[in-house]
Structure 1
Amino acid sequence: MGSPAPTPRPGDQLASATSTTRVIVIRAPQDAASPIECGGTRMVPAQDAPTTQPPGEAPDTLIGKRYVDAADTLELLCTASGTGHLTYGGQPLAVKPPKALPASD
């Protein structure tokens, strides 16, 4: 496998080193010094990642969901489900709630 991912930039594709979780960075702080991790392991560039899921484990990170940090400075879009919770700087990322659409009266 390759070296850990450098400072994340929008458009970067990252993957878990231990499961099939894959994400695309949608938004990242310019001074992002903390690692993005999945299941406690630093995420790597997607081309360096495994493509198999440990057998019998349900995914923790779900495809199509957006994950954000508490300060709403980092946003990731999950492109492949897998085991392991996403964290940034040791803090868990939460599923971003959908935006409410305006009422159409």
Structure 2
Amino acid sequence: MSKMQLKAGTKLHSSVCDTDVMVIKGSGDVALTCGGAEMVTARTGAPGQIDPGFASGTAMGKRYQTDDGSVELLCIKPGKGTLAVNGVALEIKAAKALPSSD
């Protein structure tokens, strides 16, 4: 797996499903995958096969992040693959609680 330097605003595509993401936050060189295959900046050719271990899918409009919050992605097109950084699946970022309106 090759590593890529993530830059905020970069649009990336899965090479095995319909998932598209926008980088919100990224640091360092990481191996970013979806469905077990590398994310790409432009789709070329026929899609590959999804790794069954990384097939839980993505949800439109959800933010995905690493445990430490160093990488954050926004799903702009859902698909069947699971997003992962360096082989570790990303989790959906929890929504922030709104302040009370007393």
- The alignment's TM-score, normalised by the length of structure 2, stands at 0.83
Cα separation, 2, equivalents of 1:5 and 1:49 = 19
RMSD: 2.3
Runs of 4+ in 1 over 4 A off after TM superposition: 49-52
CA separation of 1:74/1:23 partners in 2, compared to 1, >3 Å: closer, same or farther?
same
Contact 1:37 1:88 in 2 (8 A): yes
Give the distance between the partners of 2:46 and 2:68, measured in 1 at CA: 31
Q: Residues 1-105 of structure 1 correspond to what in structure 2 (within 5 A)? A: 6-29=4-27, 31=28, 33-45=29-41, 47-48=42-43, 60-105=57-102
In the aligned structure 1, how far is the partner of 2:76 from the partner of 2:44?
14
Q: State the 1:6 CA deviation.
A: 3.4
Q: CA deviation at 1:14?
A: 0.3
By percentage of residues, which structure has more strand? 2
Please tell me the residue identity of whatever aligns with 1:104.
Answer: S
Q: Given residue 15 of structure 1, which amino acid in structure 2 is its aligned partner?
A: H
1:45-101 C-alpha deviation (Å, 9 max, x unpaired):
0x325798x9xxx97101100000011010000000001100001111000010000
SS in 2 for 1:48: coil
Aligned residues: 95
Name structure 2 gaps, 5 residues minimum: 50-54
Question: Given residue 5 of structure 2, which amino acid in structure 1 is its aligned partner?
Answer: T
TM-score, scaled to structure 1: 0.81
Identity of aligned residues (%): 36
Give the secondary-structure state (helix, strand or coil) at the position aligned to 2:97: coil
* Deviation digits for residues 13-61 of structure 1 (CA, Å, limit 9, x no counterpart): 00100110000000001x2x2211001001000x325798x9xxx9710
